């Protein structure tokens, strides 16, 4: 029973820290692809800004009776508590990181790893009543679309720069 409880805490940690984990994975995966790395960092910041903007426009509250993270032995990073839950920033961030990296590397194993982290995060956010299923799904969809959009912009910018160099 102790082992099961301990493993649940570790899985909750992975879910809670999913955006940070995928950000670090993307930075290491793109380390030697400087234009894509810089694009990732810039669009990661924009993705967060888009999430905050949508939350402030939609103003859909988080579920009531949320589970207090500190009592569940998960490190609370502090900061300002977001009162709005639509869309889930955790889900959007991981889906963005996953799709951006996928479009660059086209690696199925990366998708499987990120999908596992995303699944743990979605479950953790739902289980702790931080988001509704709808808020989580919308976050995933926006993250994937923003990842594709970001990749396309970087790819076309690089193609344009290469074309300009040739001319």
For 124-159, b where at least 16 C-beta lie within 10 A, e where not — what string?
A: bbbebebbbeebbebbbebbbebbebbbeebeeeee
What pLDDT was estimated at residue 43?
A: 97
Q: Which two tokens mark 75?
A: 């490190």
Per-residue pLDDT averaged across 7-22, rounded?
85
pLDDT confidence tier of residue 69, bands split at 50, 70 and 90: low
Which residues span the domain enclosing 105? 2-166
Lookup result for tokens 């839950």? 85
Count of structural domains within the chain: 1
Q: How many other CB atoms are found less than 10 A from the CB of residue 111?
A: 16
User: Phi and psi (nearest 5°) for 160?
Assistant: -65, -40
Task: Kindly tell me if the per-residue pLDDT of 4 is higher than 60.
Answer: no
Sequence-ordered list of residues with C-beta below 8 angstroms from that of 42, at least 6 positions apart, any chain: none
| pLDDT tens track for 91-127 | 999 999 999 999 999 989 988 999 999 998 998 888 8
What are the b/e assignments for 56-83, b being 16+ CB within 10 Å?
A: eeeebebeeeeeebeeeebeeeeeeeee
């Amino acid at each position: 029973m102790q082992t099961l409880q301990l493993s649940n805490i570790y899985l909750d940690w992975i879910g809670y820290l999913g955006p940070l984990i995928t950000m670090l994975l993307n930075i290491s995966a793109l380390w030697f692809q400087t234009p894509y790395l810089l694009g990732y960092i810039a669009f990661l910041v924009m993705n967060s800004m888009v999430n905050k903007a949508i939350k402030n426009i939609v103003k859909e509250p988080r579920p009531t009776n949320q589970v207090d993270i500190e009592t569940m032995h998960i490190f609370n990073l502090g900061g300002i508590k977001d009162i709005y839950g639509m869309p889930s920033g955790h889900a959007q961030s991981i889906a963005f990181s996953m799709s951006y990296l996928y479009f660059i590397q086209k690696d199925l194993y990366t998708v499987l790893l990120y999908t596992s982290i995303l699944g743990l995060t979605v479950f953790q956010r739902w289980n702790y009543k931080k988001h509704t299923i709808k808020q989580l799904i919308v976050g995933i969809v926006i993250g994937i679309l923003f990842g594709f959009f970001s990749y396309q912009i970087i790819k076309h910018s690089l193609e344009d720069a290469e074309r300009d160099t040739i001319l």
